């Protein structure tokens, strides 16, 4: 079984090119946004980015329609956990290589034996795969 992990400090995230690749393969539209926090209203504002592949920190949403501030979290890539064993995610990392890496991220496909009950563990965003064991307190 193959699984994608982040092997450096910073946390799992995809580059804009990788997000676009994944959306295209899934038949989805993706929209890129920059967010800013309004200290008066205590709300986030999302401004669309017109660049094809924005650099640096960005937010992305998948939808058939343009997300709005009200429904943003419903579609946001950052509001969902990616299935790290997703065959498309694995194909993406294998095909794009370093171009799949997001900000402060270095993705790697790790192969483990089929049927292993595993978990992805991390410290400061650097991840590894561990066999899941029972614990009691």
Q: What confidence tens digit (pLDDT) does each residue in 54-82 have?
A: 565 556 655 555 555 555 555 555 444 67
Does residue 2 register a pLDDT over 70? yes
Asked, for residue 137, whether it belongs to a domain, the answer is no
Does residue 111 register a pLDDT over 80? yes
Contact 51, 32 (CB under 8 A): yes
Asked, for residue 104, whether it belongs to a domain, the answer is yes
Does residue 50 register a pLDDT over 80? no
Asked, for residue 21, whether it belongs to a domain, the answer is yes
pLDDT of residue 79: 42
Of 6 and 35, the structure prediction assigns the larger pLDDT to: 6
10 band by pLDDT with thresholds 50, 70 and 90: confident
The total number of structural domains in the chain stands at 1
Q: How many residues does the chain have?
A: 137
Asked, for residue 136, whether it belongs to a domain, the answer is no
Does residue 35 register a pLDDT over 60? yes
Candidates 124, 119, 123; CA nearest to 135 is 119
39 band by pLDDT with thresholds 50, 70 and 90: confident
Does residue 52 register a pLDDT over 80? no
Does residue 4 register a pLDDT over 70? yes
Range of the domain at 79: 2-131
Following CA atoms 27, 32, 38, 42 in sequence, which dihedral angle do they give, to the nearest 10 degrees?
A: 20
Contact 113, 99 (CB under 8 A): no
Of 73 and 21, the structure prediction assigns the larger pLDDT to: 21
| pLDDT, mean over the chain | 80
């Amino acid at each position: 079984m193959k699984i994608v992990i982040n092997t450096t400090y910073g946390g799992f995230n995809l580059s804009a090119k990788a997000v676009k690749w994944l959306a295209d393969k899934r038949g989805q539209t993706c929209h890129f946004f920059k967010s800013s926090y309004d200290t008066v209203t205590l709300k986030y504002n999302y401004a669309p980015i017109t660049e094809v592949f924005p650099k640096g920190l960005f937010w992305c949403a998948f939808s058939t329609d343009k997300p709005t501030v009200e429904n943003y979290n419903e579609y946001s890539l950052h509001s969902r956990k990616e299935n790290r064993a997703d065959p498309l995610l694995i194909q993406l990392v294998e095909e794009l290589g370093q171009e799949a890496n997001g900000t402060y991220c270095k993705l790697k496909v790790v192969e483990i034996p089929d049927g292993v009950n595993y978990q992805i563990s991390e410290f400061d965003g650097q991840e590894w795969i561990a066999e899941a064991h029972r614990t009691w307190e």
